Amino acid sequence: MREGRFGPVPAGWFADEARRRADLDVDVIDLAEHELPAALSSTPSPEAVAALATVSPRLEQADAFVVVTPEYNHSFPASLKHLIDWHYTQWRAKPVGFLSYGGLAGGLRAVEQLRPIFAELHAVTVRDAISFHSAWERFGEDGLPTDPQGPANAAKVLLDQLAWWGTALRAARLKDPYQA
């Protein structure tokens, strides 16, 4: 994790937007608090098992995800790739939305790289995303967007899509468990 990271600002704002909805339960997983091993293994070490135990059940219980990602060097951070790669069944037949942030591209190049990765895991990525271009200039010291209407509208669209897909896919998984 980078020193002085900005991710908690847009993530906190978005989590608050999601918590306003009665149809959603929000669980935030901050990867800075869960150091997953970089080396994948079919027989993980006791330390890896302990680290995964703090995250894996939460992913398994979720019906939908929003990935908050910066863009570094036209991509997403390694810690996010570690989280994705350590899990498989937890992502299957579930919707994934994105909130990205960065400089001029607003993290959109990172999102475009994540879409085929989640497709490979049999997850469904929703079309609409939230992107903060020049993100550091888009939030005030209070952690809220300086232009609240646009981001609030984008959050509503994304959350509406995730709620629909999450409900539909949960019902489908219960009726007929997904086989990859």
In this structure, are residues 109 and 141 in contact, taking their beta carbons and an 8 Å threshold?
Answer: no
Q: Residue 133: its pLDDT value, please?
A: 96
Cα angle 5, 15, 90; round to 5: 90
The distance from CA 138 to its chain's CA centroid, rounded to whole angstroms, is 20
- Residue 139 β-bridge partners: 145
Mean pLDDT over the full length of the chain: 95
User: How far are the Cα atoms of 38, 67, 71 from residue 82, in angstroms, in the given order?
Assistant: 6, 13, 16
Distance separating the N- and C-terminal Cα atoms of the chain: 33
The distance from CA 8 to its chain's CA centroid, rounded to whole angstroms, is 13
Q: Residue 180: its pLDDT value, please?
A: 76
In this structure, are residues 148 and 6 in contact, taking their beta carbons and an 8 Å threshold?
Answer: no
Distance CA 64, CA 103 (A): 27
Q: Which residues have CB under 8 Å from 138's CB, separation 6+?
A: 132, 145, 146, 147, 151
Other residues' Cβ atoms within 10 Å of the Cβ of residue 134? 12
Q: Percent of the chain scored above 90 by pLDDT?
A: 92
pLDDT band at 134 (very low <50, low <70, confident <90, very high): very high
Q: Residue 35: its pLDDT value, please?
A: 87
Q: What is the mean pLDDT of residues 67-88?
A: 96
- Please state whether beta strands 124-125 and 65-70 pair in parallel, antiparallel, or not at all (unpaired): unpaired
pLDDT band at 123 (very low <50, low <70, confident <90, very high): very high
Q: Which helix (H) or strand (E) holds 146?
A: none
* pLDDT tens digits, 78-121: 999 999 999 999 999 999 999 999 999 999 999 999 999 999 99
Q: Residue 8: its pLDDT value, please?
A: 96
- Lowest model confidence (mean pLDDT) among 34-48, 133-147, 150-164: 34-48
The distance from CA 77 to its chain's CA centroid, rounded to whole angstroms, is 12
User: For residue 148, how many C-alpha atoms fall within 13 Å in the half-sphere facing its CB?
Assistant: 7
Is the pLDDT at 72 greater than 70? The verdict is: yes
* pLDDT tens digits, 34-60: 989 899 999 999 999 999 999 999 999
- Residue 72 β-bridge partners: 75
